[in-house]
Amino acid sequence: MQTQNKLLEDISKVMTNAMGVAQGAKTEAETALKSWMDRWLADRDFVSREEFDAVRLMAQKAREENVALAARLDALETTGDD
């Protein structure tokens, strides 16, 4: 009976150690993947969300100014045709 308990204890220790190794390998793999993704993204010409939003607002403002100037030009041309 004592031998069987010792065997179960040894199996339990091996399984616990294996779980620790598996957890360490998982963490290491996640870290390596994150590092690889960060390098891959850094090599691309992606913009941040803040940069994208800033440029989008600039384009929207330019479009609105263009519409206003076109309306003003139309009004001047209409007045000038008299």
Mean local confidence (pLDDT), 57-69: 98
pLDDT band at 82 (very low <50, low <70, confident <90, very high): low
pLDDT tens column, 8-56: 888 899 999 999 999 999 999 999 999 999 899 888 888 889 999 999 9
Paired tokens of 53: 């939003």
What is the CB neighbour count within 10 angstroms for residue 74? 10
Distance CA 1, CA 36 (A): 52
Supply the pLDDT for residue 1. 53
Q: Indicate the DSSP class of residue 42.
A: H
**CA angle at 33 for the pair 27 and 34, rounded to the nearest 5°:** 90
Domain ranges of the chain: 1-45, 47-82
Distance CA 36, CA 41 (A): 9
